[in-house]
Amino acid sequence: MLQSDNTKHPTTKEDNLFRSNFAQFNLSLMDIETMGGGQVDKDGKWKDVCVVDYHEMPIGNTIVKVPTLDEIKRLLYPKITDINFNLSK
């Protein structure tokens, strides 16, 4: 079973707009970061995030669902408009 390193909690200038349960797994081939139970601040109230548009990525015998860029924008818009969503770097 994977052991999570929950000692690292990234902070951003958008922490007041989005929150989630964060875990980091340090494996021999790669580090993996996961988020679950996401919520966004809508009009001063925390609302659960429901991801409906995602890519399925096979990793070994597991399928990982990764939200599309448009889905991320949908979930965070209009509160976060100054983030650079260019993920090609």
Find out whether 21 and 4 touch, Cβ atoms under 8 Å. Answer: no
- What pLDDT is attached to residue 68? 92
The amino acid at residue 71 is E
Residue 86 pLDDT class (50, 70, 90 cuts): low
Write down the pTM of the prediction. 0.51
From 87, 79, 60, 88, select the one nearest 13 (Cα to Cα): 79
Report the pLDDT averaged over residues 26-40: 82
Across all residues in the chain, what is the average pLDDT? 75
Find out whether 26 and 34 touch, Cβ atoms under 8 Å. Answer: no
